[in-house]
Copies of this chain bind each other. A is one copy, B any other.
Amino acid sequence: MTKSSTAAPEAKGAKGGKKKTAPSAPKGKGTVGTPGATVSKELARRAYRSMLEARLLEEKLAALYRSGKIVGGVFLGRGQEALSVALGVHLRRGDVYAPLIRDQAGRLAFGDTILDTLRTYLGSSLGSMRGRDGNIHRGRPSEGYHAMISHLGAMVSTVCGGLMAKRFRGETGAVGATCIGEGGTSTGSFHEGMNMAAVEKLPLVVVVANNQFSYSTPNDRQFACGDLMARAEGYGVTGRRAVGNDLVDCLAVLGEAVAAARAGKGPQLVVADLLRLVGHGEHDDASYIPSALKKSPLGRDCLEIARESLLEHEWLTAKEAADWHAAVEKEVEETASKVLREPAPDPSEEDWNAFSALGRNGEEAR
> Which residues of A are interface residues toward B (Cβ below 8 A)?
13, 186-192, 195-196, 198-199, 201, 220-226, 228, 230-237, 266
Q: How far is the CB of A149 from chain B (nearest CB, A)?
A: 16
Q: How far is the CB of A197 from chain B (nearest CB, A)?
A: 9
Residues on B with beta carbons closer than 8 Å to the beta carbon of A226 = 236
Tell me the complex Cα distance, A13–B226, Å: 11
Pair B230/A224 contact, Cβ less than 8 Å: no
Also in contact, A199 and B187, with CB within 8 A (given A234-B231, A234-B234): no
Pair A222/B234 contact, Cβ less than 8 Å: no
Interchain residue pairs with CB less than 8 A apart (15): A186-B196, A187-B188, A188-B189, A188-B192, A190-B191, A191-B192, A195-B223, A199-B224, A224-B236, A224-B266, A225-B234, A228-B234, A230-B233, A233-B234, A234-B235
Pair A195/B186 contact, Cβ less than 8 Å: yes
B201, B221, B224, B266: the one within 8 Å of A235 (CB): B224
Residues on B with beta carbons closer than 8 Å to the beta carbon of A230 = 13, 233-234, 236
Residues on B with beta carbons closer than 8 Å to the beta carbon of A233 = 225, 230, 233-234
Pair A225/B13 contact, Cβ less than 8 Å: yes
Q: How far is the CB of A4 from chain B (nearest CB, A)?
A: 24
Pair B223/A198 contact, Cβ less than 8 Å: yes
Residues on B with beta carbons closer than 8 Å to the beta carbon of A192 = 186-188, 191
Tell me the complex Cα distance, A236–B266, Å: 25
Question: 9 shortest A-B CB distances, which residue pairs?
Answer: A188-B188, A224-B236, A191-B191, A198-B224, A225-B236, A231-B234, A234-B234, A230-B233, A230-B234
- Not counting A190-B191, A199-B222, A223-B235, a sample of 18 additional A-B residue pairs whose C-beta atoms are within 8 angstroms of each other reads A187-B188, A187-B192, A188-B189, A188-B191, A191-B191, A195-B224, A198-B223, A198-B224, A198-B225, A199-B220, A199-B223, A224-B237, A224-B266, A225-B233, A225-B234, A225-B236, A228-B234, A230-B234
Q: How far is the CB of A163 from chain B (nearest CB, A)?
A: 15
Tell me the complex Cα distance, A195–B221, Å: 10
Tell me the complex Cα distance, A225–B233, Å: 6
Counting chain B CB atoms within 10 Å of each CB, which of A186, A198, A224, A232 scores highest?
Answer: A224
Residues on B with beta carbons closer than 8 Å to the beta carbon of A235 = 223-225, 234
Q: In the complex, what residue of chain B is closest to A200 when comparing beta carbons?
A: B224
Q: In the complex, what residue of chain B is closest to A229 when comparing beta carbons?
A: B234
Counting chain B CB atoms within 10 Å of each CB, which of A201, A232, A235, A237 scores highest?
Answer: A235
Counting chain B CB atoms within 10 Å of each CB, which of A188, A191, A231, A237 scores highest?
Answer: A191
